[in-house]
Chains A and B, each alone.
Chain A
Amino acid sequence: MTIVTIIGVALFFIGLWGMLTQKNIIKIIIGFSIIDTGIHLIIVSIGYIKGRTAPILDAAVSRAEAIMRVVDPIPSALVLTAIVIGLAVTSLMLVYAVQMYKHKQSLDINDYEELKW
């Protein structure tokens, strides 16, 4: 458990709380983005090994001793994917928000009751 994990979990809960309590659609989307960031931090922190360096080989980290000196590269690669997907999803959600505003001139989630039961 590192400080990055704790920050990631904290961001996850801040974002979840924001998504559940806020009424404004834009704020809900911001909450989603905060959850996203928190999850990225958690994934990266899982791959971290204390005292090691980035998985890039150069003059400082030779190929022979790489296995003893670098952190796990797989979570980094996963987070790279997750960031791009998060960006795509966020942009799509913002566009939905724009379309909803055009439709009803309101960004309050309580004004959209079609799917409420």
Chain B
Amino acid sequence: MVKRFFILVMLILFGLMILPLLTGVPPATGLNPLAAKYVQDGPQELGAANLVTAIVVTYRGLDTLGEVAVLFIATAGVGFLLRRKKEHAESGTKRPASEILQTGTAFLMPLIFLFGVYIFVHGHLTPGGGFQGGVVIASGVLLLMLANTSARINQTLLHFVESLSGAFYVGIGILGLVLAAGFLDNRFLPLGHFGTLCSAGAIPVIYSLIGLKVGSELVGILENMRGDPL
């Protein structure tokens, strides 16, 4: 009873905290100065049609680097906590997946991978980008794991892709520092024609690297989390 009372008090206090957000904030009628600057100068300066990508990859690129680092640390934590004892209980007793699932996976896997690559390569033109594309690729691998329960993901290759893309990401950031105006500046590559695939300088390269890194990290999490005999 006392506990319920405290929970109620807690919820009411949080409600009071959030109330100004509901009543005190007038609906926006125009962009604030910072957003207006990004919207106005972003296309000229960076050549990216997708302004969210321009902010995520270049204007606030350092945040994205930190975000990738957080994801990496979480993956490392998952791998550390769920470390398998050297294949002690191989999943030989599991029932194999049905014919439909296996055939469907063989058909869909390349398409899902292609779609993921499409999403992160076109991150500067359309909604999407490295994180979304990486998640799509990981979902393709999840389908493979469901269809083929005994398939092992090559951990060495996974770590290789992840480390290399991370290192190249930081390397490109430093290239921007040396050749252009600052860390993670995309303008050391030509900006190209606005709105085409090969435009916006280094943004497609950076987002492809992020896509590969996020994809391999999520596949690592899936691989660690699945079928662990308790």
Q: What residues of chain A have their CB less than 8 Å away from a CB belonging to chain B?
A: 1-2, 5-6, 9, 12-13, 16-17, 20-21, 42, 46-50, 54-58, 63, 66-67, 70, 72-74, 76-77, 80-81, 83-85, 87-89, 91-92, 94-96, 98-99, 101-102
Residues A88 and B11 in contact, CB atoms below 8 Å apart: no
B107 at the interface (CB under 8 A from A): no
Complex CA–CA separation, A19 to B204 (angstroms): 40
Complex CA–CA separation, A65 to B218 (angstroms): 39
B82 at the interface (CB under 8 A from A): yes
Contact (A56, B50) CB under 8 Å given A67-B39, A91-B74: yes
Interface pairs (23), CB distance under 8 Å: A9-B18, A9-B22, A12-B14, A12-B18, A46-B28, A50-B27, A55-B50, A63-B44, A66-B40, A66-B43, A66-B51, A67-B36, A67-B39, A72-B31, A72-B35, A74-B38, A76-B52, A77-B56, A85-B67, A88-B74, A91-B78, A92-B78, A98-B228
* Contacting residue for B52 out of A2, A9, A77, CB 8 A: A77
User: Count the B residues whose beta carbon is within 8 Å of the partner chain — how many?
Assistant: 57
By beta carbon, the residue of chain B nearest A57 is B49
Return chain B residues, CB-CB under 8 Å to A17. Answer: 7, 11
Complex CA–CA separation, A58 to B199 (angstroms): 14
Return chain B residues, CB-CB under 8 Å to A91. Answer: 74, 78, 221, 225
B205 nearest CB across to chain A (Å):
19
Interface hits, B42-56 → A, CB 8 Å: 43-44, 49-52, 54-56
Return chain A residues, CB-CB under 8 Å to B92. Answer: none
B40 nearest CB across to chain A (Å):
6
By beta carbon, the residue of chain A nearest B134 is A84
By beta carbon, the residue of chain A nearest B37 is A67
By beta carbon, the residue of chain A nearest B217 is A88
What mask results when residues 182 to 214 of chain B are scored 1 for a CB within 8 Å of chain A, else 0? Answer: 000000000000110000000000000000001
By beta carbon, the residue of chain B nearest A72 is B35
Complex CA–CA separation, A54 to B52 (angstroms): 9
A33 nearest CB across to chain B (Å):
15
Residues A95 and B77 in contact, CB atoms below 8 Å apart: yes
B63 at the interface (CB under 8 A from A): yes
Residues B74 and A98 in contact, CB atoms below 8 Å apart: no
Return chain B residues, CB-CB under 8 Å to A102. Answer: 230
Residues B21 and A84 in contact, CB atoms below 8 Å apart: no
What mask results when residues 100 to 132 of chain B are scored 1 for a CB within 8 Å of chain A, else 0? Answer: 000000000000000000000000011101010
Residues A81 and B67 in contact, CB atoms below 8 Å apart: yes
Residues B49 and A58 in contact, CB atoms below 8 Å apart: yes
